[in-house]
Structure 1
Amino acid sequence: MFFEYGPPIWRVGLQSCLVLLAGGIVTFLTKLYRIRHKFQLMQKEGLPMPPHHPVFGHLQFVAGIMSKLPNDVHGHVLPHQIKLTMPDLGPMFYIDTWPFGPPILAVAGPDPAYQITQLHSLPKYHALREYMRPMTGGNDLVTMEGREWKTWRNIFSPGFSSGHLMTLVPEIMEELSTFCEILRELARKPDIILMDPLAAKLSLDIIGRVALDTQLNAQRSTNDFVSALRNQIRWLSFGNEANLFERYHPLRPVMRWWNDRRMVRYISHELDLRFKSNRESNDVVKKHRSKTIIDLALENYLAEQARNGSSDAMGTNFQDFAISQIRTFVFAGHDSTSSTICYAFHLLSTNPSIRRLLIAEHNRVLGPEYNQATTRIRQNPHILNQLNYTLAVVKETLRLYPPASSTRSGEPGYSIQGHDGRQFPTDGFLVWSNPYAVHHDPTHWPEPNNFLPERWLVGEGDRLYPAKGVYRPFEFGPRNCIGQELAMLELKLVLIVTAREFEIESVYEEWDRLHPRKGPKRPYTEDLGKDLVAGSVDQLALPDVFSRKQRLIS
């Protein structure tokens, strides 16, 4: 009997790897050519974009802009910086940074933003679902579409209404009281203090109270859910990192799975407690008990079960969905609100005359004493509606530093119409509605880089009066931010309890002296004066507080 031996196994393996590598290279080059060629044709057709290189696309152009900005600046500022570099581009233009990002149609004007969010609401960008999945489990209101999204949005919307949130003000004030206690303790120390972690923990505690009526105690102690959430954020990835080890980190799947289990276990336990309490409480107790966001959703669910003649047990589908939404609310809400708190503190620090006007309003409406003010708010939360200047400060902070962008998927056959009638194809593009660019456009905002709360107090004929549709921090349309009323309420209350008692001061020079770093610290194309680029280094003090904030796109 004769045996014929083939090539060694290692050689077969090597050949297979080489074939796969060659296939990957061919696939990469083919996609590169198609994308670059598409942009070259669009450029010849006169569609607005920066100068496009047939090989590098806009990579060199974008790198040139970003090299003149702080190295930790957030990508939100890119469309605005491109417009400053090329003012004639208009409110829409295309960006090609593949393979570090998908082909982009940047929307930097109110009319095209209206078209894609209100006139025809484009679906959320498909990659956002995979990005959000580790945080939410996948069934979240941010990325859901169609009838499923509409059904569950309607279930949860009542819990986020302004009227309902007013009933939860006493619970929010309890968490703010803890926040102020911590600030008093820190104010006695000479150290530079990170403000953002304090604000983030405050926001986590508030969301825990209004969503689940649970005290996470993130401000004072370690909580397994909070720990898992913060750890999970560190493992998020869009899959476009330049560092390949970071992009394909071998521990990422394991850590995501472990953090996911911890979050689900904690929220499941809290949901079971709420369901049991809801089922066992009599009507009198239910009438006088504050209802959380999940309480209202659970009532709707049980009512639907009763109409269908089903059991009053909490179904698996509802529980799974509720867990996803709570994770979504905590993830999205705590980050955006905490960053806005930091920006507000900084702006008041660098604009003392505005802070004095803010304090004067609080004294006039709420009384000069802190305890008197908090008592009035607890007894009559609707008194907050009389604080017009406080609301103006919050809105102006959100104008300068909007918390997020909206990313949508283009559709075959759908184009956005420009002001001159020109059509902008969306198929194959990430359509990026960018409020930062809109909010800093002098076409719509006189003195766009100045902190002017009076914009929100003047009459329609005044030059500062905002035109319709140009203010979009929470976006418009059916997919607007469900938590915007909660964010506005929390921000107003934070200013009320801190403005009169604490003097918060920025300490750029001291921090830079203690922590020197290379590269620019301010944007190069505009003089922001005392303002900061969104997402870059925020330095706040109590009396010396520093916060570095990199915000997430949602």
Structure 2
Amino acid sequence: MEATISPSTAMLVGRAVGLLVVIALARFFYRLHQVRTFVRRFHKEHDLEWVPHSYLLGHLIETGKIMARFPRDMYPLCIATLMLQKYPHLEKYGFIVLDAWPFTPPMIYVFDPDMSSQFTQVHSLPKSDDLKSEFRPLTQNKDLVTLDGQAWKFWRSVFNPGFSVKNLISLTPAFLEEIRLFSDRLRAAAKSGEVLKLEDHAVNLTIDVIGRSILGTRLHCQTRPNPLQWALAKQISWLIPEYTPPSLLKLINPGRPLLMWNYNRIIRNYLLPIIQEKVAAQAHGDSSGSTETKTVLSLAAKAYLAERPQKANTSRSAPVINEEFISMTIPQLVIFLFAGHDTTATTLCFAYNLLNRNPSTLAALRAEHDAVLGPNPADAESRIAANPQLLNALPYTAAVIKETLRLYPPAATVRQGQPSFELVHPATGRRFATAGFVVHQNSHATHHLPAVFPRPTEFLPERFLAAEGEPLHVRRNAFRPFELGPRGCIGQELAQLELRMILALTAREFDLEMVVPDGLPEVFREQGTYPVGNVTGHPFAGMPVRVKIRG
């Protein structure tokens, strides 16, 4: 007998659903009222000039008008820069308020260098709740990026030795081995005449390099598919950095939880044997367990065994590793693998393109390499291998990398405002409450302020070599691609060393010219090279290039 639903039951269900919809709408509009009045009250209390603000849509109308003039996929970090271009008089405050709720919480975009230092260097505000929500599916917030307090301090102190200059220099032979494969790929592309999607190969290179420094093992991403790399890329693609319409579609996708669980399973299954091997090596005092060269994993293993001294070196059998250590170590490795390859690959792509478009800068870079590494590019690898300290004798190359990072900062820090913390304008002494806001250090806006970086859209590595008092001198607190203060990127020395090494081994042998599709708009005086993406900025279309071998 088929079950039937009586009319009275159907009516009750319909009323219940209707009531839930009414409650949801009431909560939505109540929260909307709270946010809009909060933002307006903030402007009124602090006597701030307004960016046009709608009670219903906040700043969404105004940001929509601004972004309509630019590609839809442009990296959101650029929004504050574009708002300042339209409303330059707001620069005097040192920040811009953006109300894009419900897509993001109310935000204070800080661009004044000294105000930025207040919540990152002088007093380090905790990471924002939204950032933690974004990375929770990837790391369960057990990573160095989202941890706060004593847990963060402990793990930062554990990992710091792995990122010392001395330790990174000791990894030079391993890095050279990976860069050699990248050079081979560029050489093959030059001979075949193919258009190369540069970002893909830069990513393969940088994740191979980060694998050597984080795990102490080869991932072989440049020569064959790697399940760790594949699962990590898929997992990142499902992250939700802000609640834009495309992100909302991901959020409500019923398959998302299962997919993310599966990607995490693949990552765990790949990393677990490596963890077990490295812990065993560390326990038995093997040199592969990092008595000389320290990796993130070997340092984690050392910290784990230090808490269990009775289990170390008692036999040649593998030590027992508890689940707590595994569940804490894998997220740390994952965030290092992600952050350590993604932004470095992006910066490399932008650097090649900027050098190609600025021949005099490229000539100066090559001249420095001739002077330091010898006139024959083929000798560069052996010279660096014999004396890695030569990489510290390339100031112009370092300046090229810094200027690339200034123009294309890959990410920014996002902190949670606190009732007890106020921003103070360095010139006027005016104080601004931060409670209820996400406080965003907008490095892109800072790096494009004419008052801070003269001729901001020009590619001028010389600014990072200018002495104090010279027009291009980079002032204190201004350059922030890795952020400053105690929460600054732990891997910034690794990234810059790696980039110096790659340019030193490729810039004199190859010319890389971007293939720009017809009809692309010019953004920040560059055509076709604007950053795209959500979690971090990436080159448009993966930066297609033609490679030529220099005569």
Deviations 1:268-309 (A, max 9, x none): 1111111222334557x7687643232133223323432899
| Matched-pair contact (CA < 8 Å) for 2:142–2:328 | yes
Matched, 1:381 2:388: yes
What is the match of residue 146 of structure 1? 149
What is the match of residue 525 of structure 2? 528
CA distance in 2, matches of 1:181, 1:194: 15
What is the match of residue 265 of structure 1? 269
CA distance in 1, matches of 2:291, 2:155: 26
Deviations 1:374-412 (A, max 9, x none): 111112111111111111111111111111111001011
For residues 489 and 320 of structure 1, do their structure 2 counterparts lie closer, same or farther at Cα, with a shift above 3 Å needed?
same
Secondary structure in 1 aligned to 2:458? Answer: coil
Secondary structure in 2 aligned to 1:542? Answer: strand
Secondary structure in 2 aligned to 1:111? Answer: helix
| Matched-pair contact (CA < 8 Å) for 2:463–2:472 | yes
CA distance in 2, matches of 1:217, 1:362: 28
Give 1:239 shift: 5.8
CA distance in 2, matches of 1:372, 1:155: 37
Deviations 1:448-470 (A, max 9, x none): 11111111222222111111111
For residues 278 and 241 of structure 1, do their structure 2 counterparts lie closer, same or farther at Cα, with a shift above 3 Å needed?
same
Give 1:7 shift: 4.9
Matched, 1:440 2:448: yes
Q: Of residues 527, 543, 548 in structure 1, which corresponds to 2:547?
A: 543
Deviations 1:13-46 (A, max 9, x none): 2221111110000001101111111222233332
Secondary structure in 2 aligned to 1:105? Answer: strand
Please tell me the residue identity of whatever aligns with 1:543: V
What is the match of residue 336 of structure 1? 343
Count of matched residue positions in the alignment of Structure 1 and Structure 2: 528
CA distance in 2, matches of 1:412, 1:533: 37
Secondary structure in 2 aligned to 1:328? Answer: helix
Please tell me the residue identity of whatever aligns with 2:352: F
CA distance in 2, matches of 1:108, 1:379: 43
CA distance in 2, matches of 1:208, 1:492: 18
Please tell me the residue identity of whatever aligns with 1:352: P
CA distance in 1, matches of 2:433, 2:293: 49
CA distance in 1, matches of 2:347, 2:320: 40
Please tell me the residue identity of whatever aligns with 1:59: L
Deviations 1:94-132 (A, max 9, x none): 111111111011101101110010111110011211211
CA distance in 2, matches of 1:74, 1:440: 15
For residues 150 and 25 of structure 1, do their structure 2 counterparts lie closer, same or farther at Cα, with a shift above 3 Å needed?
same
Q: Of residues 256, 259, 263 in structure 1, which corresponds to 2:260?
A: 256
What is the match of residue 40 of structure 2? 40
Q: Of residues 260, 276, 279 in structure 2, which corresponds to 1:275?
A: 279
| Matched-pair contact (CA < 8 Å) for 2:521–2:527 | no
| Matched-pair contact (CA < 8 Å) for 2:189–2:195 | no
What is the match of residue 173 of structure 1? 176
Alignment map for 1:217-256 (pairs within 5 Å) = 217-238=220-241, 240-243=243-246, 244-256=248-260
Percent identity over the alignment? 37
What is the match of residue 348 of structure 1? 355
Deviations 1:240-272 (A, max 9, x none): 132543331111001000000110111111111
What is the match of residue 494 of structure 1? 502
Deviations 1:465-494 (A, max 9, x none): 111111111111111101111111111111
| Backbone CA RMSD of aligned residues | 2.2
Give 1:507 shift: 2.0
| Matched-pair contact (CA < 8 Å) for 2:282–2:290 | no
Please tell me the residue identity of whatever aligns with 1:130: S
| Matched-pair contact (CA < 8 Å) for 1:366–1:373 | yes
Q: Of residues 478, 481, 505 in structure 2, which corresponds to 1:473?
A: 481
CA distance in 2, matches of 1:12, 1:99: 32
Alignment map for 1:302-317 (pairs within 5 Å) = 302-306=305-309, 313-317=320-324
Secondary structure in 2 aligned to 1:182? Answer: helix
CA distance in 1, matches of 2:230, 2:290: 34
Secondary structure in 2 aligned to 1:421? Answer: coil
What is the match of residue 550 of structure 1? none
Q: Of residues 161, 165, 168 in structure 1, which corresponds to 2:164?
A: 161
Secondary structure in 1 aligned to 2:36? Answer: helix
What is the match of residue 125 of structure 2? 122
CA distance in 2, matches of 1:344, 1:113: 26
Give 1:54 shift: 2.2
| Matched-pair contact (CA < 8 Å) for 2:198–2:349 | yes
Secondary structure in 2 aligned to 1:476? Answer: coil
Please tell me the residue identity of whatever aligns with 2:30: T
Larger displacement relative to structure 2 (40-49 or 416-425):
40-49
| Matched-pair contact (CA < 8 Å) for 1:183–1:542 | no
CA distance in 2, matches of 1:167, 1:471: 28
TM-score scaled by structure 1? 0.91
Please tell me the residue identity of whatever aligns with 1:245: L
Please tell me the residue identity of whatever aligns with 1:316: E
CA distance in 2, matches of 1:6, 1:20: 21
Give 1:497 shift: 1.3
What is the match of residue 536 of structure 2? none
Q: Of residues 283, 287, 299 in structure 1, which corresponds to 2:302?
A: 299
Please tell me the residue identity of whatever aligns with 1:467: R
Q: Of residues 454, 461, 465 in structure 2, which corresponds to 1:457?
A: 465
Secondary structure in 1 aligned to 2:192? Answer: coil
CA distance in 1, matches of 2:241, 2:410: 19
Please tell me the residue identity of whatever aligns with 1:165: L
Alignment map for 1:383-462 (pairs within 5 Å) = 383-418=390-425, 419-462=427-470
CA distance in 2, matches of 1:406, 1:289: 33
Secondary structure in 1 aligned to 2:511? Answer: coil
| Matched-pair contact (CA < 8 Å) for 1:228–1:260 | yes
What is the match of residue 371 of structure 2? 364
